[in-house]
Copies of this chain bind each other. A is one copy, B any other.
């Protein structure tokens, strides 16, 4: 359960074990084989050690996978240097960078949980908060709004990206959508009036665009409420 923080004190041999090395190797295995495929035995072999050695640096498999997911989340910041001017476009860019990072490592999406405790999940909320703070919003709303946005980013990404047939990469995402659309068509219109009417939309519906559309809705909401709010209680009228 101990962690090796920072570099090893002395030179040590090149392949010296550390939490970072282990997590990095775990990410590769996770990418290749999925969560089920990642095994302490396999990981140990990959790193030329025994399984026991891994437990010196990581408390258990849950922690290992969480750390791996947080490392993946970190990729988003590399891609997105954060120096946008405009708050709205900065938030959009950040959100999309996170979506894309998770999309490249589908197993990771469901392991980012809230409120954040690991380094990069914290960083995400912090950046979102910093951008929100540049807005015209009153300071008391910053936290709530920042949280809502960052939960949307990770939560909806996870929904969309979550590995389908838990292990079976033979079915492409498009096949999956097409098959789902076909199933929707067979539903009873009495039970599912909306879906049976709308199944066409699922076919030419791109996940990533859907993610962005929802995000824009959220940001529009922000925009709308940035102006002084109506008396609480009679929120939405339509």
Contacts and interface: CB of A to CB of B under 8 A. Distances in A.
A49 to B, nearest CB: 25
B238 A123 contact: no
A143 B205 contact: yes
B224 A224 contact: yes
Contacts of A32: none
A28 interface: no
Number of copies: 2
Chain A binding surface, main DSSP class: helix
Contacts of A142: 194, 198
Contacts of A217: 145, 148, 218, 221-222, 225
A4 interface: no
Nearest to A158: B155
Contacts of A143: 198, 201-202, 205
A93 interface: no
Top 8 A-B pairs, shortest CB-CB distance: A148-B214, A129-B194, A221-B221, A155-B155, A88-B236, A220-B221, A143-B201, A217-B221
Interface string A138-157: 00001111111101101111
A8 B195 CA distance: 30
Given A147-B214, A218-B214, A218-B217, A223 B238 contact: yes
A122 interface: yes
Contact of A213 (B136, B144, B164): B144
Nearest to A60: B166
Interface of A: 62, 86-89, 110, 112-115, 117, 122-123, 125-130, 133, 135-136, 142-149, 151-152, 154-160, 162, 164, 166, 177, 180, 183-184, 187, 191-195, 198, 201-202, 205, 210, 213-214, 216-226, 235-238
B198 A130 contact: no
Given A86-B238, A159-B154, A224-B221, A148 B213 contact: yes
A147 B208 CA distance: 12
A147 B145 CA distance: 21
A192 B126 contact: yes
A224 to B, nearest CB: 4
